[in-house]
Amino acid sequence: MARAPLILVTPCQQNKGAEFADASLSLSNRYTQAIAQHGGLPLVLPLTATRQDVAEYVRRAEGVLLTGGEDVEPQHYTAALAPELAEKMGPTEPARDALELALVEETFRQRKPILCICRGHQVLNVALGGTLIVDIPTQIKSALRHKQMERKMEPVHDIAIEADSQLATLLGATRIGVNSTHHQAVERIAASLRITARTDDGVVEAMELRDKSALPFLQSVQFHPERLYDRYPPFAALFREFIAACATD
């Protein structure tokens, strides 16, 4: 029987956890279930990991999953925010930002497959030199309603997918409905990435590498396929292909 590839999964930080109200890790089980059900062995990373630890984790693993969560600190992609945008910032996670930025760097250095979801999609763009929209309703006129937490398990708007993209091949479509639970988004895209899907209001919903030989696999999506794959079969292909790319033995 083939060995299940080890997949590093990034968590959020909860300020007061169940044990002694200590700062704790927090992660939806949907991510680890999606990895496990498609043949991977998920390992949740500690936010206390040092830069040296991150390199060793990536060395021992076969792939990396960057998950959803709070806003990325603006200092990582802009010199200053206008007051009206600063007011729209949600909670941030400085320790997580540091961990994930280092994790992206190591993933590229060691050439491992990576799947990025929601916040992870935004972190990837920032790590590679791109910028973010701080608040969609403030910065995009006539924007769709992108933050629909009450409908997080179902499609709420369509995305248009580039026909020549890997995402279109995986999903078997050039237009598909997705869920949406975010208020930030990719703005200026990193030079090494290409946009492969947008919503009708122009928000970037998916990215992949311009040079696909740079990594064995990279898919970056703004929506949450881990909340869709078990009821909307096309989205299972994202996890299936990711785990297949990680299964080197």
pLDDT score recorded for residue 106: 98
147/143 Cα distance (integer angstroms): 11
In a domain, 158, yes or no: yes
Backbone phi, then psi, for 113, in 5-degree steps? -65, 145
Look at residue 18 and tell me if it is in a domain.
yes
Residue 1 domain-assigned (yes or no)? no
Q: From first to last of its 249 residues, what are the pLDDT tens digits of the chain?
A: 678 999 999 999 888 888 888 888 999 999 999 999 999 999 999 999 999 999 999 999 999 999 999 999 999 999 989 999 999 999 999 999 999 999 999 999 999 999 999 999 999 999 999 999 999 999 999 999 999 999 999 999 999 999 999 999 999 999 999 999 999 999 999 999 999 999 999 999 999 999 999 999 999 999 999 999 999 999 999 999 999 999 975
Let me know how long the chain is.
249
Residue 108 lies in a domain: yes
39: in domain: yes
Q: Which CATH number characterizes residue 35's domain?
A: 3.40.50.880
pLDDT given for residue 237 in this prediction:
98
Set 62, 93, 116, 118: catalytic member:
118
pLDDT of residue 248: 75
Q: Is 121 a catalytic residue?
A: no
pLDDT at 235 (0 to 100) = 98
Query: Which of the following is catalytic: 93, 106, 208, 226?
Result: 226
78 within domain boundaries: yes
Please report the pLDDT score of residue 18 as a whole number.
86
Q: What is the pTM of this model?
A: 0.96
Q: How many domains does the chain have?
A: 1
The verdict on residue 182 lying in a domain is yes
Domain that holds residue 142: 6-246
- The per-residue pLDDT for 30 is 98
Active site residue 224: yes
Residue 138 domain flag: yes
Residue 118 designated active-site:
yes
Q: Which of 38, 146, 157, 224 is catalytic?
A: 224
